[in-house]
Every structure is written in structure tokens, then in C-alpha cells.
């Protein structure tokens, strides 16, 4: 990364995090968009599209080649699992760009990832695990019709009777009934009447539908949330008594914002709470006043009204959501498990995902860490590239109580060694800040950490 850009980004992040206590957007090490959350067992799996760093400048200048995966068990600390699929997995599609909004669903122990390859159609990948590896079982597109450039943004759900439905489209909304194998369908591709702009329609449609549908069922109500009224796009929604309608427009979940041209909802219930996912451009605008298609996923909690409708929410807050659990620091925690990060990036090596691009003053925040009665030591797996570097372990802010400092011993670029230090005993639940110190750039790589009793 250019040193001047890195310095500006670090300065902006310091102001943003220390003064604003930010939690939104939830991923800071990469640009993420089009969130597709899936609750499986006790974990939220967050599949996203990925805007490249050099996307843009200009509205609509998307540069997207792969899909990413993050997981969380507390809604605030997200573990980076890297690229879960890419355009290369679809040999029939364009390879240079177009990895748009995906969604994953589980059925009968297999996981189906529906992916639009913009301009080529919609494909499906299958895996035995939500982490992948995902493979193309068809070797061809699942969805292609006369509206191929509109075959984007698939959303899928399985009704209580076992029938699965796949929806998609911009500027109209289409659907098919999937077969039980989830990789084929029966019947015709159907257009939902009245949703989207007709060819001879100049004004916005009744539903204010644009793209990015998210279909689901809750308490016998069928919901269709979507990016609404371009541009900017907010999030609107409609409800129905059947999965194919008729749909009744209910209004906005969130109005648009002039600095965010697009949107894409994802809605789940998790641990007794309801959440809406989407994105903003906040990280992009920390770097520049120019619009680039470099988006960042955000989350808000909400409560359904008694009649099942969804209240209108303000634009994405900076504070985000509260944790729904605590993190056990006495078990190995991946360094890429992050609530907020300043300056660092993640990369993939032979040992999996790790944190890199670590410079002086960068830090990682891990939220709601339960230290119990206190820890005695701290250890971390490090590949040190420079001497005179350290990890300061602090509580509740980057300048908070100092528990200890791990002085990093140089190991060489690709040699991972566990290093440790003593820490002061401090009981209770705290936000832990791992603050990086040193006299050079690219101080070391960081794989995992844990406290000891």
C-alpha cells in the first residue's frame, strides 16, 4: 500500500474509532458488499461479494472477481475465512469481472451457493461444508433467459412444505421452483407481476423495486426485501401470504443515502434478535471524496412490529450492534477474528488466513472478551520480519490499561513461532486491543493468539 495512503487511512481510522466508537462497517480489512447471512447451527455465516481496492473511480465501475466468507457467534467479532468461491469456478462465465451478489443455503447436509456472473447468467456451486470447497455440479449456468443482463442477485429459501424458490432480477423480479436437488428447476421462469419497471413504464413501480431481493418466511408471513428506488438505493420490502404473492408493498426498511448509490439487504434472526444487513461507502469516503464502487457491509438490529411488519430504521449507525455473547480468550483465537481493525490487512498462506501489512500504530480490537478472574500470560503465533516490534495488550481503547507487551523476536518471513509474555491480572469482560508497535513498515505477520491462566 502506498505509504501516504496508508498514513491517511490510519489517521482517519484513529479519529473514526476513538471518537465515534465505531462498529459499522463490520469488516475493515477488505471492501465487502451484498451481504448474504446464513444461520447454521450456532454460527452466522456471512457470504459477501468483494470490491477490489482499485475499483473505480465513478459510479457503476464495479470490479468484482470472487466471493468471501466471514463467521461470527456473537455478531461483533467476525472471523475472515478468505475467498470461498470465484469466477474461476464457473468456466462457462466471464472471468474478468462480474462476481455479484450471492446467497448460500443448506439442504440435506449440503450447501448450495447461488452466484450471479454478471452478463453471463446465474450459476450454483455445491459443497459438503459451509466453508467449502464449492464445486460447479452442472458445468453450465442454472439461470439464463432472454433477460441475461438482468439475471443477477439470486435469493433462495425453502418453504415449510419442502418446496424451494429461487428469485432474482433487475429491474423486474423473477422466480422458479427449484427441484429437491437444488441444482435444477421445474416449470417456467415466472415474472412477478407489477414488481419492477415495465418496458413502457417511465415512473417508478408501485413496489419501488430495483434489485437485490432477499426472500424469507417468518411466522407464516412471506417477506421480500430489496434494494429500492435507484439512485441512491434504500431498502424496501413487501409481504405476502404465499411465496409467489400477491405481494403487498409495506414501505422502507431504510431510506437511501446520497453517499451510497446502492444497497442489498440480508435479514436473519439469531439468538433471539433480528438483524438487517446491508452496506455503505464509509471506508471509501475516508480515503477520498470521489465515489468508487468500494462498499462495506453494515448491520443493524431491529424488532418486528406485532403485525409482522418491519419498522423504518435510520441510516446505518456508526455504533452498529451489541454483542450477543462473549469471547473466550483462553482458547486459541484467530488473529483475523476482528471487531474493528486499523490499518492491517488479511492474506492467505499455507497455514490459512493471517493478519499482515502491520505497521506502527495499527491495531485489532476484539470485543466483549471474558477474562474471567484474569490472565497470567499472553501468547501469539508470529512470523516476524523485523526486529524491534511489539504487541501491546490493552483494555477498552488503544491507549487503555496496559496488560503487557509481547516483544517480537524476528523469525523470518515464512517461519511461524509461538511467542509469549507475562500480563497483569485484570478480571471481567473487556474489549481487548492488540496495538502494534515498531520502527518500520511490515513489522510481522500474525496468525493467532490466546491468554493463559
Which residues are catalytically annotated? Answer: 34, 211
* Interatomic CA distance for residues 88 and 68, integer angstroms: 14
Nine-digit cell at 220?
407464516
Which DSSP string do the residues of 324-392 spell out, in sequence order? Answer: SS-B-TTS-EETTEESEEES-EEEEETTEEEEE---TT-EEEEEEEE-TT--SEEEEEEEE-SSSEEEE
Nearest to 172 by CA among 209, 126, 131: 209
Nearest to 67 by CA among 154, 165, 180: 154
Contacts of 199 (CB under 8 A, 6+ apart): none
Count of beta carbons in the 10 Å neighbourhood of residue 106: 17
Does residue 16 sit in helix, strand or coil? Answer: helix
CA dihedral 155→296→250→164, nearest 10 degrees, is 10
Does residue 61 sit in helix, strand or coil? Answer: coil
Phi-psi region of 98 (alpha: psi -120 to 50; beta: other; left: phi over 0): left
Nearest to 103 by CA among 129, 76, 125, 87: 125
Q: Find out whether 84 and 47 touch, Cβ atoms under 8 Å.
A: yes
Ramachandran angles phi, psi of 137, nearest 5°: -80, -15
Count of beta carbons in the 10 Å neighbourhood of residue 52: 17
- Asked if residue 232 has a cis previous peptide bond (ω within 30° of 0), the answer is yes
Instruction: For the sheet with 248-254, list strands across it.
Output: 209-218, 221-228, 234-240, 248-254
* Interatomic CA distance for residues 234 and 230, integer angstroms: 8
Contacts of 117 (CB under 8 A, 6+ apart): 87, 90, 93, 94, 98, 99, 100, 123, 141
Residue position matching grid coordinates 435444477: 184
* Interatomic CA distance for residues 194 and 196, integer angstroms: 6
Amino acid at each position: 500500500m502506498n505509504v501516504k495512503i496508508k498514513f491517511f487511512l490510519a489517521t482517519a481510522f484513529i479519529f473514526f474509532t476513538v471518537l465515534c466508537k465505531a462498529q459499522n462497517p463490520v469488516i475493515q480489512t477488505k471492501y465487502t458488499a451484498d451481504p448474504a447471512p446464513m444461520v447454521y447451527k450456532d454460527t452466522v455465516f456471512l457470504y459477501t461479494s468483494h470490491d477490489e481496492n482499485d475499483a473505480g473511480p465513478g459510479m457503476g465501475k464495479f470490479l468484482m472477481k470472487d466471493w468471501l466468507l466471514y463467521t461470527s457467534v456473537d455478531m461483533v467479532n467476525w472471523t475472515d475465512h478468505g475467498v470461498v468461491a470465484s469466477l474461476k469456478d464457473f468456466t462457462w462465465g466471464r472471468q474478468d469481472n462480474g462476481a455479484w451478489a450471492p446467497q448460500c443455503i443448506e439442504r440435506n447436509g449440503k450447501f448450495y451457493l447461488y452466484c450471479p456472473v454478471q452478463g453471463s447468467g446465474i450459476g450454483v456451486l455445491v459443497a459438503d461444508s459451509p466453508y467449502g470447497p464449492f464445486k460447479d455440479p452442472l458445468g453450465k449456468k442454472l439461470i439464463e433467459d432472454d433477460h441475461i443482463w438482468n439475471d443477477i442477485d439470486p435469493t433462495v429459501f425453502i418453504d415449510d412444505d419442502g418446496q424451494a424458490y429461487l428469485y432474482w432480477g433487475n429491474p423486474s423480479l423473477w422466480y422458479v421452483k427449484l427441484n429437491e436437488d437444488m441444482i435444477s428447476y421445474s416449470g417456467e421462469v415466472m415474472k412477478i407481476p407489477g414488481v419492477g419497471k415495465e418496458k413502457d413504464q417511465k415512473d417508478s413501480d408501485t413496489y419501488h423495486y430495483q434489485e437485490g431481493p432477499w426472500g424469507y418466511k417468518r411466522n407464516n408471513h412471506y417477506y421480500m426485501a430489496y434494494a429500492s428506488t435507484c439512485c441512491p438505493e434504500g431498502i424496501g420490502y413487501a409481504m405476502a401470504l404465499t411465496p409467489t404473492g400477491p405481494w403487498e408493498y409495506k414501505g422502507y426498511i431504510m431510506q437511501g443515502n446520497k453517499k451510497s448509490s446502492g444497497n442489498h439487504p440480508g435479514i436473519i434472526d439469531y439468538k433471539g434478535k433480528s438483524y438487517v444487513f446491508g452496506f455503505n461507502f464509509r471506508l471509501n469516503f475516508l480515503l477520498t471524496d470521489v465515489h468508487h464502487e468500494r462498499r462495506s457491509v453494515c448491520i443493524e438490529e431491529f424488532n418486528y412490529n406485532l403485525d409482522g411488519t418491519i419498522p423504518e430504521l435510520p441510516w446505518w449507525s456508526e455504533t452498529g450492534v451489541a454483542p450477543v455473547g462473549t469471547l473466550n480468550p483462553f482458547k486459541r483465537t484467530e488473529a483475523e477474528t476482528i471487531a474493528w481493525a486499523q490499518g492491517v490487512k488479511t492474506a492467505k498462506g499455507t497455514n490459512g488466513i493471517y493478519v499482515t501489512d502491520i505497521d506502527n500504530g495499527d491495531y485489532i480490537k476484539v470485543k466483549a472478551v471474558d477474562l474471567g478472574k484474569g490472565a497470567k500470560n499472553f501468547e501469539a503465533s508470529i512470523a516476524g520480519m523485523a526486529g524491534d516490534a511489539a504487541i501491546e495488550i490493552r483494555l477498552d481503547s488503544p491507549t487503555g490499561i496496559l496488560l503487557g507487551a509481547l516483544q517480537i523476536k524476528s523469525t523470518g518471513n515464512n517461519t511461524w513461532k509461538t511467542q509469549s509474555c507475562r500480563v497483569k491480572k485484570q478480571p471481567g469482560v473487556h474489549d481487548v486491543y492488540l496495538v502494534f508497535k515498531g520502527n518500520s513498515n511490515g513489522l510481522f505477520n500474525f496468525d493467532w493468539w490466546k491468554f493463559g491462566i
